[in-house]
Each structure stands twice: as C-alpha cells, then as structure tokens.
Amino acid sequence: MATKRRALGSTTDTGASEEETMALRRTKIVLFGDSITQQAFSTKHSGWAAAVNDAYQRKVDIVNRGYSGYNTRWASQLVHEVSSHFASGSPANGRDILTIFFGANDASLADGTAAAQHVPIAEYKANLGKLIDFVRSDHGSRAPQIVLITPPPVHERSWAKFCGEETSNRWEALFPFRRSAPLASRALASRALVSSDPNPSPLLFWQVS
C-alpha cells in the first residue's frame, strides 16, 4: 500500500478509494499511567519516556498520558481519550503500543492518609482488564499491542521523609521490605491477569521474592 501524502501545494485528487487513502502515519506509543508516567519525560531525572523517545527518533510518536495520583478507577474515565489516539490513520509499521502502568495509588491504605486513592485488589485487577478490553474492542485488528507494567516497590523510609512524616502511613506494608505488601499483591494480580488472558500482553513485572 503506497502512502498518499498530501504535499504543500499539491492539488492532485487521485480519486482512490477510502481504503487506499487511509492515511498511513507514524507508529505511536501511548503511555497511560500515574505520576510515574506523568514524570517520565523529566530531563532532571533522565525520565524513562524521554529515553524511549530518543530511541525512536523519527520513527515513533510518544504520547504521554500520565496522571499524578490516579488509580485504575479514575483511569477508566479517561480510557476513551487514550484509546482515541489509535483511531486516526493506520500505523505505517503495523501496530502501535500502549503501556498501562497503574497500581502505586491503588495500593494506598484503605484507612490511611491517602485512603481516597485506595482501590481493593480485586477491583484493581478487574479495572485493568476493563482498560485492556476497551482498547482492544475499540480497534479490533488495529488495536495496539499492550504492555502492562506492574507497580514498582516503594522505599518507605525515603517516602516518609519526603512527606515530612515519622513513618509513612500512606501505603500498607511495603514490598520488598515486608512481604505481604499490597504493591506486590497488585503486581501478582497483574501477572494473574496476563496469564489468564488468551491473548496475553507483555508484562513488566517486579518479582516478589
């Protein structure tokens, strides 16, 4: 399929069918997540998305849809907009990529200082599944490849200091210092989600051991 590119000053109407003229565009990588995604273009901290952008110069458009403080429940209200980025045109090189990277806020204590952000583990897992299902059904065979990134651990002592607290009461016991951590549970839930998926997404997973 040849690209039909409209150049400046071009007045040619090819009369081609809609399928033939479906614009090929650059492949996209859309990054959907919380503050760890929102900050991912940081130059101050050599952000991971900035490095991805560098690796894909002139090949892929990187779109940041990171929302500080968001959990999977609130993310569900934005998935339409996120998914819309894959709608126009067809990726020139086959498929786009969507990374989904939530869980750090879902893991807030149900009765702690960040209780408003808490999402129970079962709902977290269900919410992730709904996000994935929405994007796949939205685009069918043109759906992006989805890479599910599970939440990393938190260094509790550093975070408590940053928050000006004696001890962090933001999260439940935090992995990997305490093994029963909710973040670890959420990582496991993400893995369970993928292993039960007939069309599993690649998964970036913080190992619990």
Q: Least distance from C-beta 138 to other proteins, angstroms?
A: 19
Instruction: Compute, in degrees rounded to 10, the torsion defined by CA atoms 92, 94, 137, 185.
Output: -120
Q: How many angstroms separate the Cα of 144 from the Cα of each of 74, 94, 166? A: 21, 9, 44
Q: Convert 14-25 to b/e letters by CB count within 10 Å (16 or more is b).
A: eeeeeeeeeebe
Instruction: Compute, in degrees rounded to 10, the torsion defined by CA atoms 75, 165, 156, 65.
Output: 20
Q: For other proteins, what does the binding mask look like between residues 4 and 23, x meaning CB under 8 A?
A: -x-x----------------
Q: Least distance from C-beta 40 to other proteins, angstroms?
A: 8
**Would you mind telling me the total number of residues written for the chain in this entry?**
209
Q: For other proteins, what does the binding mask look like between residues 70 and 109, x meaning CB under 8 A?
A: ----------------------xxxx-x-x----x-----
Q: For other proteins, what does the binding mask look like between residues 169 and 188, x meaning CB under 8 A?
A: -------x----------x-
Query: What DSSP assignment string belongs to 142-192?
Result: GPPEEEEEPPP---HHHHHHHTT-SS--SBSS-TTTSTT-HHHHHHHHHHH
- DSSP for residue 201: P
62 binds other proteins (CB under 8 A): no
Out of 62, 149, 181, 189, which residue is the one contacting other proteins (CB under 8 A)? Answer: 149
Catalytic residue among 10, 17, 35, 209: 35
Q: For other proteins, what does the binding mask look like between residues 102 and 141, x meaning CB under 8 A?
A: --x-------------------------------------
Q: Choose the stretch contacting other proteins; rule: CB under 8 A; options: 52-60, 79-87, 116-124, 132-140.
A: 52-60
Phi-psi group of 69: left, alpha or beta (phi > 0 → left; psi -120 to 50 → alpha; rest → beta): left
153 binds other proteins (CB under 8 A): yes
Q: Which is nearer to other proteins, 50 or 78 (CB)?
A: 50
Tell me the catalytic residues.
35
List interacting residues with other proteins (CB under 8 A). 2-3, 5, 7, 24-27, 35-36, 39-40, 42, 45-48, 51-52, 55-56, 58-60, 92-95, 97, 99, 104, 145, 147, 149-150, 152-162, 168, 176, 187, 202-207, 209
